[in-house]
Structures are given as structure tokens and as C-alpha cells.
Amino acid sequence: AAGEGSILVFLPGAPEIRRVLALLQASGLSPEWILAPLFGSMARADQDRAGAAAPPGRRKIVLATGIAETSLTIDGVRVVIDSGLARAPRFDVASGMTRLVTLPVSRESADQRRGRAGRTEPGVCIRLWAEGAHAGLVQRNTPEVLQADLAPLALDLALWGVDRPERLRWIDLPPAAAFDQAQQLLADLGALDDRKMITPLGRQMAELPMHPRLARMVIAAAAEGGGGEACDLAAILSERDFMRFAPGRQDSDLRLRMEILRGLRRGKLLPVVEGEVDHSACRRVLHQADALRRMPGVDLKARDRHMDYIGRLLAWAYPERIGQRRAGSPGRYRLANGRGAFFASLEPLAASDMIVAADLDGERREARIFLAAAYDLEMVFDQHSGRISNREVVAWDALRQAVMAERQVSLGALLLKSEPLARPDPGLVAAALMLGIRSAGIACLPWTQDLRGWQQRVLFLRRTAAGGEEWPDVSDQALADALESWLAPRLSGFTRLADLKRLDFGAALNGLLSWRQQRELGTLAPTHLTVPSGSRIRLDYSGETPVLAVRIQEMFGCTDTPRVGHAQPVLLHLLSPAGRPMQVTVDLAGFWKRGYAEVKKQMKGRYPKHPWPDDPLRAPPTRRAKRGPRQT
């Protein structure tokens, strides 16, 4: 509709290009249109065809990534359609991995894209975002040094004797966190020493034209006669993957790529069951691999190793990405750096107990695995003995609700082997058990009704004590906070929550009171009170004021409210013969004078078999109903 000329469409990446291409192919375009994808991993010849002018009488729709912003000019383009999106690598310091993210373009990039329209004659640019949103775009693209993996830079600086980037002048100073992470990686690879100075191995790594990870791999492999395979693998990992798979049919195994490259070197390309091979990309990788194999020190006379060797190679480059399969979770792994990783589909490699992941998407919680190889426990002990730690661990196992005491052999976050400790430190066992008690809550201790009553009585005296010795805080929170002082000495021999039912818990609690308080507790806060009828009735200390629930007839003759503690009146719940509260009061004398008559009026007809005297202070207290006439 815009007139003559070809169309250039900017899309964020190859997947979007393929989807739009499929939609256009299915839309019934006239034969005048030529559809041409254009992205970085295409063969150079295909890129040249996409960038060439359309033949006379025909027009092109070029579907391109940001590669078409500045690196080439496509003749005949009169219309630019800009999605306003770009895909860029972002290095995540926390995970140590680079991931691709889709972001809005900068205003600078948007202007570059617009300039592709009508470079020799008038053209039009259609931007697929609101005009008001344009002002919200960042002015220019973020410099690469602020978002890249800085390991190669850190190795170069170390080679020059520079341990901190601040010692040099920069247009944009590399971020401190990313540089620290890069130095830590180089130290893990053996390129830097404890003083962050370059080592002889680091100097060797700096001489190789590849990422320090891959350089470490090639040097280690060359020393054991596997330099050729290491060069092949380094070339594969340095380029975009030459394998293409349909959705849900991924095969991440690097052994497959190595077999294809090995076959191509021998003059034949192996058939692939699930995917397709980008032949031009594969030949580029082979060309790079052959160039690497010509480096000094690579032993090409050694025979090709078995494909199981690939995992060992990867582990030299990515020791923190050695992964152990999670129990009961097919295709999900825990990496040595503590992070999670998974295969998006249940491919054959997902059945391996151990892997080494070379390419992940960099997500912080669980990263998707794109390229990996199988690994095994024997290789871990042979290859990484210096990284393996042996430690005695005494900790709380929440699943078993018990103390776990083991001698553990670990590689980073991976537990390689464990065996029970015969004689764990009793103090550590008690500490772990107390952690379990705290996590389960103080209610997991063997409380009884009487012990809860004891707790409430002590807390009552703590609230109402006037001078003298202070009563301890025995609330649940206070008891949990002070487990070490009052409970730990009594936990010898206990390792499970279930064992605590054998604990003399009452003695442990009582030990919180002084000898004098233990004697006074029964006097100041008795469990029961004897009422005028002779009944011993339990006091309820669960509220702010102790409660005595008693039938009204049992209190006849009592002139004043019973008291506990330091003359604290109890709260009387005066009950009907059926046990229902009729009056709640702390002033029994006042009730007899002002409230009893009304209660008597209401209750006498309802409970005629029970005494309702006119003068309750002179009537004998009783637990029984009135005796009726004897029947003959």
C-alpha cells in the first residue's frame, strides 16, 4: 500500500523471524514478493542474498534482526517496519551465566532503523509502539563492558599486571561485582593465585584465542592426549549451535555434535534422527576446529577418544556446572554452584545421573539446559580431588524429624557420598535438636494438661508479684528463646522429636524456678481451692485473672471472694445446678446483697429440687439437691 520498493522488518531474533516467515508464506502473497530472512547465524552466502536488491519487477520482504541496523545496506528498501524490540546478551553476576533478554530498543537504535528506509529516495518507517512511549526509551544502547562476561578482560589485565580495573582509565569503568566474579572464575580455573596475580597456567590460557574456560579445557586435555577433541569442542561451544530441532524434540547432548563434526572431517555427514544440521554452520565450526588443532602443543597423533570423554572435557571448563540429578525429578539437576537446571524435554541425556552443562539460559532459580554432556562420579574424584571437601555434618533433618549426623563428601553444593557418624559431638547433636524443636514449635515438647497449668500459674505470679523475687518468664516464646539454658542439658541421648516423650519435662520446667519459688508455687497459686461445700475445685489460670467455676449452692455461707497469689481475688463463675454460668463476679459479698435475689427468682422455679434460701450466708453449703419425701 505504500507504493514501490521493498520492506525491511526488524524483529528481535531468529525464532520471531521464523514465525513471521511462516505466517507470510501461508497468507497467499502474490508472486511479486520475495521473502528473505536475515540473522547472524545464517551462512554468509544466505546473508548476501538477503541483502541484495530485488530483481526487476519484484519486491522483497526482509525479516531481519538488529544485524541490519548498521552492518549492511539493502538496496531498494522504501518501507521499514520496526517491532521496537532487540535481543541482547546480559551477564548475570549472581549465576555466572549469560542469558539473552528481549528489550525495547534505544532511541539511538530506533533512529538507525528508521534511516534504513529510502536511503536514496523518500521512504516510510512504521514503528509498532505508541508515539507517547517513544520518549520513555533509553537514549542509547548500554556499553558492552557494563553487561558482558568480564573473564577474558580480567585475564588480559592480569597478564599486564593489573589486578583492579580502577588502575586504568576507561570510558566506562567495568562494574566491580562483575569483575570480582570474573576474577573468582579465573581463580577457580587456576589462572590466578590467592593474590589475584596471574599463574603460569594463566599465561598459557591467555595465549590461546578463546574464552578462558575453553583455554583451560584445551590445556588440560592436551596434557592427557585429548587436545584434538578439546579443540573440536571449543569450536562447537564458540559458535551458534548448528543443530536445529522442532519444538519439543531437543537433543542437548554435545556428543551428538562431536560425532557429526568427526564424521564431516572424514568426509561424510551422519544422519540425525530428531533434528537437522545447518551444513554451512557446521563447516564453519569444522574450519575453526581445524585452525585450533594447529596450535602448538595440541597432540594430533592421539586417537579419537570415546564420546564419554566429552563430559570430562566440559568439567575442566565448567567445574561449577557439574550437575547431579535431583531424586524423583527426571531431567532436573542441582549444579555444583547451588543453582538448579533442567532439560525442557525428556531427552536421552536427561536420564544421566550426572552431567556437565555448557550452555544454559541464565535464569536465576532454574536454568534451562541447551548443551551438556554426561558425566560420572568416578571422574569427579579423579578430576576434581582438590575441590572435594570432607566434613562432618550434624544438622536437623526436617523431613525425618531427626538429627542427621554424617560424614559428607561434597563438590560445592553436590553431595557425592555420605556415611553415618559413629560418635557425633553431643553438643552439636543437642544444638541441632533444639533447632528442630524451634522449627516445629514449643508445642512439640511433651506437654500435659498439668504442665500447661503449671506454666499458666507461674505466668500469673509473674504478672501479679509485688516486689520480692521475680518469677521467670515461661511463655512459649521465652522457653523457645532459652532452650540452651534449661533444656539442652537434659537432651543427652535424644536425636528425634519422637524421643522427647521419654523426657522428664516436668523436672526440666521446674528447674526454671528457684528453690523458694518451687515451695511457694503451691501456696500462692494452688491448682485447686476448697469451697465451703468441701469440694476441691480446679482453678483456671489461662486468662488474666484466675477463674473458679463453682455451683452457687456450694458457696452458701462464704462471705468474701476467695483469693490467691498476693491477695488477688479470683473471678467467680457462679453456676446453675446444670453447670451454666449465672453470674460472673470478683465481689461475692456484693453479689449476695444485690444480685442473689434476682437470680433466686429466676432459678427457683427452674430448679425446684435445689435449695434457694432467703439468706444464703446462713444456709449450709451443699453439693446435692434437696431430699424429696420417701415413697412407700
Q: What is the per-residue pLDDT across 134-188, written as a single tens digit (0 to 9) for each?
A: 888 888 888 888 888 899 999 999 999 999 999 999 999 999 999 999 999 999 9
pLDDT for residue 357: 95
Does 630 have pLDDT greater than 60? no
What Å distances lie between residue 87 and 15, 141, 178, 180, CA to CA?
11, 12, 21, 26
Amino acid symbol at 292: L
Contact 577, 625 (CB under 8 A): yes
pLDDT interval class at 196 (50, 70, 90) = very high
How many degrees, rounded to 5, is the angle at CA 272 between CA 369 and CA 234? 50
How far apart, in whole angstroms, are the C-alpha atoms of residue 625 and residue 608?
Answer: 9
Q: At residue 396, what are phi and psi to the nearest 5 degrees?
A: -85, 130
Mean pLDDT of 49-72: 82
Nearest to 317 by CA among 202, 211, 173: 211
For residue range 91-110, what is the model confidence (pLDDT) as tens digits?
776 666 676 788 899 999 99
Say whether pLDDT at 299 is over 80. no
Residue % of the chain over a pLDDT of 90: 59
* Residue 632: pLDDT band with limits 50, 70, 90: very low
Q: Look at residue 101 in the predicted model and tell me its pLDDT.
A: 80
Kindly indicate the confidence band of residue 43, based on its pLDDT and cuts at 50, 70 and 90: low
pLDDT at residue 68, as a whole number: 74
- Please give the pLDDT value at position 55: 87
The pLDDT assigned to 300 comes to 57
Report long-range pairs for 520-529 (Cβ below 8 Å, ≥24 apart): 521/454, 521/457, 521/458, 521/461, 524/461, 524/564, 524/565, 524/566, 525/457, 525/458, 525/460, 525/461, 525/564, 525/565, 526/564, 527/450, 527/453, 527/457, 529/562, 529/564, 529/570
Going by pLDDT thresholds of 50, 70 and 90, the confidence category of residue 365 is: confident
Q: Which has the closest alpha carbon to 549: 578, 586, 574?
A: 574
Sign of CA dihedral 132, 138, 140, 144: negative
Residue 563: in which H helix or E strand, if any?
strand 563-564
- Whether 629 shows a pLDDT value over 60: the answer reads no
Instruction: Write down the pTM of the prediction.
Output: 0.67
What mean pLDDT is predicted for residues 535-553?
94
Taking residues 449-466, report their average pLDDT: 92
Give ∠ CA 14-18-24 in degrees, rounded to 5.
Answer: 140
- Residues 384-408 have a mean pLDDT of 92
Q: Which three cell numbers stand for residue 541?
A: 489460670
**Three cell numbers written together for 180:** 570480582
Residue 631 has pLDDT above 60, yes or no: no
Query: pLDDT at residue 257 above 50?
Result: yes
Q: For residues 28 and 30, give the distance between their C-alpha atoms in angstroms, rounded to a whole number.
A: 6
- What pLDDT is attached to residue 2? 58
Look at residue 65 and tell me whether its pLDDT is greater than 80.
yes
Q: Which residue has the higher pLDDT, 465 or 518?
A: 518
Q: 161-176 pLDDT, tens per residue? A: 999 999 999 999 999 9
Spell 493-525 as b/e; 16+ CB within 10 A means b.
Answer: ebbebeebeebebeebbeebbeeebeebbeebb
- With beta carbons less than 8 A apart as the criterion, state whether 245 and 275 touch: yes
Question: Per-residue pLDDT for 302 more than 70?
Answer: no
Q: Is 421 in contact with 406 (CB distance < 8 Å)?
A: yes
Q: Which residue has the cell 449476695?
A: 592
Beta strands in 446-496 (DSSP E): none
